[in-house]
Structure formats: C-alpha cells, structure tokens
Structure 1
Amino acid sequence: MSNDIEYKMVKPDASLSEFVESFWMLTNHSENAREIIVLPDGRVDIIFAYSATEPFGASLVGLESQPSKIMFSPGSIMFAVSLKLLAIEYILDIDIPHLLNHGQHLLSGFWEITREDLNNFDDFCKKVSTKLSALRKENVDPRKQKLFELMYTSKGSLTVKEMSDQVHWSSRQINRYFSQLFGLSLKAYCNILRFRASFQHIKEGKLFPEQNFTDQAHFIKEIKKFSGVLPKELSKNKDDRFIQFSTLTKK
C-alpha cells in the first residue's frame, strides 16, 4: 500500500466476537484524492470520518453485492467498526434491506462519538466496545447463533440445506429472515463470503478455485461478478485501488 495511505485493524474482545468482526482506521496523508474500489465482503460498517473538505460525521453502510468506487479525499480520516450480521438485530436493532449497496448518514452524536475521538485509535476502539457491550441484547436465538457460526466458519461453503438441517430451521424461514433484515438471500450472502475467502489466494497469485466453486469457469465468473474484473487483474491490484487487497499481507 502507498505510504500516503495508512491502515490499522484490530479484532474485538472475545465478549464481542460474535457481533463484531473488527475495528479499523484508514487515513489519507497525501494532498491528493485517491480512487478506491470497495469489494463486497459481507460486513456492515459504521464509519466515523472527516477530511480537509468534509466535516465530521457518521454513516451506516449496508451489505454490498457489487463493487463500489469512492474518492478518498485528501486528509481523510476514517475510524470504523465492522459488524457481523447478528449485530444488526441484537445490537443495532434495525432492519437494513434498504441499505443493500447503499449507506445512510447517522444523527449527530451517534454513540456519543466526536471528532476528537478520532485522535487515538486505541481509545476509539475501547469507547465503541463499551457502547456495543451496553447495547447488546441478551437471549440470542440459538438457531441464529448456530446459523451464523456455520456461515462464518465454513466461509460460505455450506449449502442452505446443509445449514438448515443443522440448525433445525427451514430454508424458507431462513431466507425470509435474511430478506427482511438484510436485503438478500442466505445463498447470496454465502456467495459473498466465499468470494471474500478467495482474497488471500488471489493476492498470492493463485488464480484458481480453492473454495467450493464448481470449476474454473465458475470461479472466474463469480470473481468478475463481485469485483468487476478478472482474477488476474484483481491480483495485480494496479495503483492499490482494491483497498481490501492492499491491506492484506502475503502469507
């Protein structure tokens, strides 16, 4: 990644790991805007940000099923929390189907985070963690807990029927739940998780399926569907424009 772009990420405490994937920060230290392409990754983000030209504000970014292009303004600072889907119902307590491939501004003072809280990333993570713990509901539906555990641990490789059988919840009911709360089907969400699981392989130049893609042609089709480019171009990541690839390290 360019020296002008700074990125940090930390994982949540174990007590929040069921609801939170990570906390992250992204800063553009240069005097020039950078074009960035954000790829679908199965996360819901709450972002607090400001730049040299934009005032401080907060936004909620829903799930994405297609790549999106943004201009990362000079002097931009973003601090964010990436949520797993269970948090939508049991922490945020909102439905987000209207936010598929969209975001919305949040009210001023959301979670009592201010511009000054973006001065120190560690302190930001602690403050948001405390807020999330306070908002978290008890008595999570065990079927949903098991369903999301299967999805994330399998990286989207299990079929809807396999998960339905294991959680004892009908496929029809699961898909209704997903459509009403998140704006897409369970299968569509698992396809996004599978796409994301291929990032590391593609970053390392392994341009063949290592997840449960049917064959090479299916792999190429799915990568292009979610990224807009072929696996080879994604691997090259010209100008570090695919931000999720820029922040990966080769193993």
Structure 2
Amino acid sequence: MELKITQPTKSLSDFVESFWMIRNDSAEEKEVILLPDGRFDIIFYSAKESFHTTLRGLDTHPGQAIIPGNVVMFAVSFKLLAIEYLLDIKMAPLLNEGQLLPKHFWNIEPHDLEDFEGFCTKVSRIMLDLIKFDIDKRKRELFDLIYTSNGSMTVQALSDRVAWSRRQINRYFNERFGLSLKTYCNIFRFKSSLLQIKEGRFFPELNFADQTHFIKEVKRFSGVVPKELAKNKNGRFILLSDVSQE
C-alpha cells in the first residue's frame, strides 16, 4: 500500500493542513484504525466502476475502517478555519460521520486521481478562488494559538489571549464543529503527541497533568496505551504510520 503526503502552498496554509493519497494496488483489503486528528477531510475515492467524493467530519474516538483492494484515494485535510472561510459549512452534524458530496465536486474526475501532483495543483487553484479573506481576527489568532501550542493551552488562556469569552468561543465551536474548544484541544494535543510515541517516548511532553493523565488521554483517543500504540501492529494505526511524513 502506497501513502504520500504533501504540504499546501503558503497561500493556503491557514486553511489546508495537507494533501494525501493512499493507493492499494493489492487485491486484498486492509483493516485500519482511524484516530482523531483534529482535521476534517474531503476524500476522492476511485475503484473499478466506482468513483465518489466524501466529506468527513471531525472524529472524537478511534474507529475501524477497511481500505478495499485495488483502490486509490486522493484527499485534502483541512484546518478548522476552512470550514467557515473556504467552504462556508457547519460540520457539527458530521461529528464522527461522513457524507457524500455531489458528483463532479470541484470538477474532479477519475483521471485526476492518476497524478497526485497534478491533483494538488488543480484543487489548490480551485480553493484559492473560494477563500473569503474577511477573517475575524479573533478566530485567526485563536486557531494560530491552538496549532502553535499543539493544543496544550488551557481554554482560559486562549480566551484571555484573544479577548473572546469562553462562553462565546464554546458556542462557536459547538454550533460550527459539534464539540467544545476543550475537547478539540485535547484531540489536537493527542495528535501532536503521536510522533514522540512513535519514537518510543512514553512520558508527557505537552502540558498533561501527569503520567496517568497522559496514558488515559492516549487510551481515550486510540483505544490502547502508548506502548501498544507505538508497536502499531500490522500498520493498523494509519495516522501513526504517516505522522513522520507531515
């Protein structure tokens, strides 16, 4: 199974986390476990006599999935700012869920999934035309702080830094994304801890209360303790497999 990841241009970096592709040229399907990663995805899926596009919401718990044989998937993984200022949608109803998008979404056709670099160029051009640049300064600063701190800042600290009340921030998060700011920060902190876990460092490095809290949070979002997650038996934790490539 082939996995590739590439980063967006600077002009899209506030909205797009990465582009990625998975190609399974084997006839055998592969079982994987999807981990919460603090991003949402638009996935273009092509297999024999089948082509569709799926919008995937945020995940709050691990879930099992199957990658069929003889399939290719090209995708865009988005930061949260894109939901309001690029696609202008509410993702709350899609928490831990996905939905099919219309046929020919963004004019992507099966032949576009033959060239990953060409795909990235095409969808980048489309997204640049969709961006709304009148971004609320509080929201831009809030997301910058979440990402640069790897989700380790408290809700109160974030609220104080952006001069936006905790109550208003949580209303915004719940209505737009389907979860609280604290839950999102916990998810992003977990995702940010994956590289250290992969490298065999099983002690908290990101503002966890203590070792017990670290283990509890890792198990909450992955279903296993850090040492078991690091083993990544049969490459089933696909996010852990690609974390070093980002």
**Whole-angstrom CA distance in 2 between matches of 1:249 and 1:189:** 22
TM-score, L = length of structure 2? 0.98
2:4 aligned residue (4, 8, 21): 8
How far did 1:208 drift?
A: 1.3
Q: 2:186 is aligned with what amino acid?
A: N
1:44 aligned residue (25, 29, 40): 40
Tell me whether 1:18 sits opposite 2:14 in the alignment.
Answer: yes
Secondary structure at the aligned position of 1:145 is classed as helix
Aligned to 1:120: 115
How far did 1:123 drift?
A: 0.5
TM-score, L = length of structure 1? 0.96
Tell me whether 1:195 sits opposite 2:201 in the alignment.
Answer: no
Tell me whether 1:32 sits opposite 2:10 in the alignment.
Answer: no
**Whole-angstrom CA distance in 1 between matches of 2:59 and 2:188:** 11
Secondary structure at the aligned position of 1:248 is classed as helix
Q: 2:63 is aligned with what amino acid?
A: S
Secondary structure at the aligned position of 2:22 is classed as strand
Q: Deviations over 1:101-158 (max 9, x none)?
A: 0000001011111111001000100110011000101210001000000000001010
Tell me whether 1:205 sits opposite 2:200 in the alignment.
Answer: yes
Aligned to 2:140: 145
Aligned to 2:60: 65
Query: Which stretches in structure 2 are left out of the alignment for 5+ residues?
Result: none
Query: Which stretches in structure 1 are left out of the alignment for 5+ residues?
Result: none
Aligned to 2:70: 75
The alignment covers a number of residue pairs equal to: 245
Q: 1:14 is aligned with what amino acid?
A: K
Secondary structure at the aligned position of 2:243 is classed as coil
**Whole-angstrom CA distance in 2 between matches of 1:89 and 1:158:** 23
Tell me whether 1:86 sits opposite 2:76 in the alignment.
Answer: no
Secondary structure at the aligned position of 2:205 is classed as coil
Q: Give the ranges of 4+ consecutive aligned residues of structure 1 lying more than 6 Å apart after TM superposition.
A: none
**Whole-angstrom CA distance in 1 between matches of 2:149 and 2:38:** 14
How far did 1:171 drift?
A: 0.5
How far did 1:207 drift?
A: 1.2
Aligned to 2:176: 181
How far did 1:190 drift?
A: 0.2
1:246 aligned residue (229, 241, 245): 241
**Whole-angstrom CA distance in 2 between matches of 1:135 and 1:226:** 33
CA RMSD of aligned residues (A): 1.0
**Whole-angstrom CA distance in 1 between matches of 2:113 and 2:33:** 23
Q: Deviations over 1:64-91 (max 9, x none)?
A: 0001111100011000000000000001
**Whole-angstrom CA distance in 1 between matches of 2:210 and 2:76:** 35
How far did 1:230 drift?
A: 1.0
**Whole-angstrom CA distance in 1 between matches of 2:145 and 2:45:** 33
Q: Is the 8 A contact 2:46 2:113 kept in 1?
A: no
